[in-house]
Amino acid sequence: MYLSKNPFTGIVEKEFEVISNEQLQTQLELSQQAFNSWKNTPYSTRSKLLFKMADLLEERSEQYGRLISTEMGKPIKQSVGEVEKCAWVCRFYAESGAEFLNASILESTAVESQLIYEPMGTIFAVMPWNFPFWQVFRFIAPCIMAGNVGLLKHASNVPQCAKAIEQIFIDADALKGLFQNLFINHQQVELVIASPIVKAVTMTGSNKTGSIIASLAGKYTKKTVLELGGSDAFIVFDDADMHSALQQALLSRFLNSGQSCIAAKRFIVHESIADEFVTNFQSLIENLVKGNPLDTETFIGPLVNEIAMNELEAQVTTSISLGAKCLVGGEICEFMRSVYEPTLLYNVPLESPAWTDELFGPVAVVCFFDSDEEAIAMANDSHFGLGASIWTADMDKAAWISQQLQVGTVAINGMVKTEPGLPFGGTNQSGYGKELGALGMHEFMNIKTVSYF
């Protein structure tokens, strides 16, 4: 069952039944038929579709933003921004995708050798609820520009978002079967991956789910790209622009009510500025507006469900029992039981859940360092490796520090974020492979060498 339940009100908006195996097979076959046609379309046809979808996303940004906020609880301004970002990625690949697909000449013993890019076929995406439009479009935009087709298994709590995305393709007059939403259960996921029609799998979500998907893909020899959890470090040196660092720290940690893989979660601050940073950070956190995600003034909305709330509460409670100090928050909001109070923990023991685990909610963790080497060691003291931020006026030091961090993305004097032209992906337990940019498009292509002798 796919259940659309408003996390703020607790009201079930809609329910959707899981499809039968027979229906699933029909959709798989339609996907293959679509690929047989789509792979031969000119780049101009693919670009035209992406431009049209971008227009629809922009025209309906308020409508879709409200749907996101109602279904998973993101504050409405952020939801509308997410939809607008989807239009951006569609336009980016419409404008630049053809260039990414150009053949290149390689030096060889042949008269000429070329590297060419060919579409693989049907790509299966397993996507999460926290960015229910963006996660899908950052996969599907390069996918269809490359000549592939897509199948989506979305999170079971955002079925209306999944249906809305599928409808965008219909309204844009896309080829039937080019993109299909699948209301399938966990057992049927293996049927999709096992199908010879499906050539590769992309997945964003938890490490536990990623491990399962990767195991299934390995069983059937299918390529995967995984973007998993993160516990990003946000390193603030003593020469940093304090005002900018604090403003970006607040955004990075508390956007989407803290429910983001790439959010800064561990704030590693030079001890000489520790008091100033913590005092001002606490003040900013205390002034965050909590409430109904459909209210334009709201910055902190509900957590996605009770399970997430209970897990976060247990992580914070355990960390405090182990010695972490709580300056603000640290509990469920008394008058809005679906909202977790924005929280600031400091002097967190490095063996506590607040340091070792991914906190998927509005909880900031601050620790202090004395030397550059200590900051690097603390930042790398994680089994994740998604991103990190470095704050300093010394660009030589920033460049050197960035090379020492075991992560996929580094932002210097800025927050880690994704955008269409920049390849994005993690290392260690944060996954593998790249999304976005030219590399993201090439992940799901047959990169073929052709030599003329």
**What per-residue confidence (pLDDT) applies to 336?**
94
Tens of pLDDT, residue by residue over 208-241, are 999 999 999 999 999 999 999 999 999 999 999 9
Is residue 103 classed as helix, strand or coil in its secondary structure?
A: coil
334 is known as an active-site residue: no
17 is known as an active-site residue: no
Task: Say if residues 328 and 217 touch (Cβ distance below 8 Å).
Answer: no
Numbered ranges of CATH 3.40.605.10 in the chain = 2-228+428-452
Whole-number mean pLDDT of the chain?
Answer: 97
**What per-residue confidence (pLDDT) applies to 212?**
97
CA atoms within 13 A on the CB side of 414: 7
From the candidates 86, 161, 261, 367, which is the catalytic residue?
Answer: 261
**What per-residue confidence (pLDDT) applies to 349?**
94
From the candidates 71, 166, 227, 358, which is the catalytic residue?
Answer: 227
Numbered ranges of CATH 3.40.309.10 in the chain = 232-412
Confidence band, pLDDT 50/70/90 cuts, at residue 4: very high
Average pLDDT over residues 1-14: 96
Q: What is the CATH T-level fold of the domain 2-228+428-452, as seen in this structure?
A: Aldehyde Dehydrogenase; Chain A, domain 1 (3.40.605)
Confidence band, pLDDT 50/70/90 cuts, at residue 181: very high
Confidence band, pLDDT 50/70/90 cuts, at residue 262: very high
- As its CATH architecture, domain 232-412 has 3-Layer(aba) Sandwich (3.40)
Q: Give dist(CA 346, CA 143) in Å, integer.
A: 43
Phi and psi based region of residue 133 (left: phi greater than 0; alpha: psi -120 to 50; beta: remaining): alpha
Indicate the DSSP class of residue 129.
S
Tens of pLDDT, residue by residue over 306-334, are 999 999 999 999 999 999 999 999 999 99
**What per-residue confidence (pLDDT) applies to 130?**
98
Q: Give dist(CA 197, CA 200) in Å, integer.
A: 10
DSSP assignment of 386-429: SEEEEE-S-HHHHHHHHHHS-SSEEEESS-----TTS-B---GG
Tens of pLDDT, residue by residue over 50-106, are 999 999 999 999 999 999 999 999 999 999 999 999 999 999 999 999 999 999 999
Least Cα distance to 387 among 245, 240, 227, 270 occurs for 227
**What per-residue confidence (pLDDT) applies to 445?**
97
**What per-residue confidence (pLDDT) applies to 263?**
97
